[in-house]
Chains A and B, each alone.
Chain A
Amino acid sequence: MKYVLMFVETEDYANELAAMGEAERGAAYDEVGRWFAEHDARITRHVHLQPAHTATTVRLQDGRAEVSDGPFVEGKEIVSGFVEVEVADLDEALAMARSWPACPIVEIRPAAS
């Protein structure tokens, strides 16, 4: 089955990352690199998104399109990237998400076939 793992950044995590020294941050990025290498065979697509300030949201309601800045009003949790993976079932996707070394929330959704 195809799943999408969406990586969700939080304010706390962003602050934590900002507070890190250069070496520490480098080590954190290395861990992410290792995660990708380890799961390479199952990752069919990877998209890393630009930071939240680049986002634009279009809200379609009552036949009108309201365009606003940012992911959503007062949003404190922001999708920062996603991978598409090909695995047997939810448990396998869960195991991948469990070993994700970076941002603290991962949403897993099956991709419609």
Chain B
Amino acid sequence: MSTTHDELARVVREHAGRLAASLVHLLGDFAAAEDLVQDAVEAALRRWPTEGIPERPDAWLFTVARRRGLDVLRRQTRYRDKLAQLQWPVPGEPDDRLRLVFTCCHPALPRQAQIALTLRVVCGLTTGQIAAAFLVPETTVARRITRAKRKITDAGIPYRIPGDDELPDRLDEVLTVVYLLFNEGYLSSTPDRAHSRRLAEDAEWLAASLAWLMPREPEVLGLLALIRLHEARAAARFDDEGRIVLLPDQDRSRYDHDAIDAATQLLAQAAARHRAGPYQLQAAIVACHAEAPTWADTDWAQILVLYDMLLQHTPNPVVRLNRAVALRHVAGPAVALGELDGLAATLADHHLYHATRAELLRALGHPGPAREADLRALELTTNPAQRAVLERRLDAREWS
């Protein structure tokens, strides 16, 4: 059942995005095109499970969208004439899908709408599927999408790839959305892991499509490498009972080493362009961990250098916190703790700040303050898997 479902999701994602791209391009009306595609996707999700996936799913979706379009738009000659000329497959404009992603992630749209719209238009998810993935009411998602589509039309958000001068800014927006999607799927706080797994796959697919469409953008390759490196280690991150296994305790034989090699090659390809950026640097850090045969073999000096570079690009306190962990292994827990003191004010409400502090205090032989810090971290964590890690640590202290 779930294999059929995955296959359906894959086929829909593959073709709905392409169909949406060509329809938007042809009609020049984002909202109208998107409605047609959603109708076709919903018809497919209704009929394919019983009738089987058609031999040419793209042509099937196209026929349904076109027929529906002719029905709905009978009164509007402008669209009727255009739809009448439409043929599938559309003579290829590979940039169409890229244009679509940039429209969905336009900075004039609120972030939540960017995410919902990308999932719906580019990945072909229905409103119901998006709502289930983010555990929000379907009406909320529907409202976000309706508002976003109205804003695209009314505010004159163009359907185009940004020019070279705007590209860095706008690409950031797109990469952020893809990475947020991935994190929602990967580190999900949702109890239903089946749904969140699919989000991680959607994000990987989006990153791979971007890399295919923009092979010269090193940060795009960096993001794809980062996602694939995380995925390659996924099997070792949870034990049989679904509890988080921390990095030092992970069984590294369960990593997908072929995937790690492929991802590091991708990263090398990105690095050859000599335009380091936050995604490449994060991927390089994950690669250091993934390639170390054991926890004890971790190349902390290299990781520290990478964090220093990352801080130059993204001078934010969470990066400094992670850098302090690397610093502990290079310069000792006392130095790392000193570094954390500088973050006390900004990260007072961040659970990882307190959890990291607890570890350093324990390493320095201060169990009392360490326990207090762990308790504070527990107060600040909502993610059930992360709570379980902290509770186990606190329990262990009771017995020691």
Contacts and interface: CB of A to CB of B under 8 A. Distances in A.
| Secondary structure class of chain B's binding surface, majority of residues | loop
A64 to B, nearest CB: 32
B271 to A, nearest CB: 31
B158 A91 contact: yes
B156 A95 contact: no
A110 B166 contact: no
Interface string B163-183: 000100000000000000000
A110 B158 CA distance: 13
A93 B158 CA distance: 11
B154 interface: yes
Chain A contact-residue range equals 10 to 19
Contacts of B72: none
Contacts of A1: 156
A89 interface: yes
Nearest to A92: B158
A95 B154 contact: no
A90 interface: yes
Contact of B108 (A88, A90, A95): A90
A89 B166 contact: no
Contacts of B162: 91
B237 to A, nearest CB: 41
A91 B166 contact: yes
A67 to B, nearest CB: 32
B155 A95 contact: no
Contact of A88 (B106, B154, B155, B158): B158
Contacts of B106: 90
Nearest to B160: A91
A89 B152 CA distance: 10
Interface string A93-107: 111000000000000
B155 A90 contact: yes
A13 B266 CA distance: 47
Contacts of B166: 91, 95
A88 B157 CA distance: 10
A94 B155 CA distance: 11
Nearest to A3: B156
Point out which of A3, A89, A91, A94 has the most chain B C-beta atoms below 10 A from its C-beta.
A91
Interface of A: 1, 3, 88-91, 93-95, 110
